[in-house]
Amino acid sequence: MKSFKISQVSYFIWFMFSLFLLSVLVSGYVLWQAHASFDWPTTKGMVVKTWIEEIYTQGSSADPHYEVGIEYVYAVGDDFYHKKNKRDITGAIPGYSEEEAQALVAEFPSTKVIPVHYDPDDPESAVIIPTIHIFMIIGFVLFSLIFLAVLYVMFRQMISEPDSFIVTEV
């Protein structure tokens, strides 16, 4: 049976291990929070205003995409919260077409009473529409697969003969 020699793992592979471990943890946390928001309790809130921002990608001839922002207030117990940013509708900032953005703004007119899903452990963290975006899933899966590949390379370096993974002859 071969022994594992952690000292044989190159610094570059340790760096990749650390980088992709962090990536898997962060993307997993984001996905977990998005999933948890479906079960968060709700409270009533009120829309103050909504807006659309047209975003052009610098150096691209592609059509612009649109981001929708919302400002709203809600109360949890005796505490009032005021939110104003583009992440509070779904928990992420997706790009919309112009028609989708206008429909979303029309859905949340000023003074409309809306249900707000809030984190019971941190009521300041809230979303209006709990959503898991496909990029959250793709990011987690992609980072996990790369992390597994890095683990395989680490394993191969640990069980190999010393310096057998270094090219000595050309």
pLDDT digits (tens, 9 = 90+) for 91-135: 666 677 888 888 888 999 999 999 999 999 999 988 888 888 888
Write down the domain spans for the chain. Answer: 1-39+131-170, 41-129
Q: Provide the pLDDT confidence category of residue 167 given band limits of 50, 70 and 90.
A: very low
CA–CA dist 38, 124 (Å, integer): 16
Q: Provide the pLDDT confidence category of residue 147 given band limits of 50, 70 and 90.
A: very high
Whether the CA torsion 152, 158, 161, 163 is positive or negative: it is positive
Asked whether the beta carbons of 67 and 93 are under 8 A apart, the reply is: yes
What distances in angstroms separate CA 65 from CA 92, 102, 108, 134, one per listed residue? Answer: 15, 12, 20, 17
Return the higher-pLDDT residue of 55 and 25. Answer: 25
Find the radius of gyration of the CA atoms of the chain.
23
Give the other-Cβ count within 10 Å of 34's Cβ: 19
Beta strand 122-127 pairing with 113-119: antiparallel
Residue 152 has which token pair?
């395989």
The fraction of the chain above a pLDDT of 90, given in percent, is 44
Q: At what angle do helices 11-36 and 134-159 cross, to 10 degrees?
A: 150
Return the higher-pLDDT residue of 31 and 62. Answer: 31
Asked whether the beta carbons of 83 and 126 are under 8 A apart, the reply is: yes
CA atoms within 13 A on the CB side of 121: 4
Q: Provide the pLDDT confidence category of residue 78 given band limits of 50, 70 and 90.
A: very high
- What are the tens digits of pLDDT across the range 34-49? 888 899 999 999 999 9
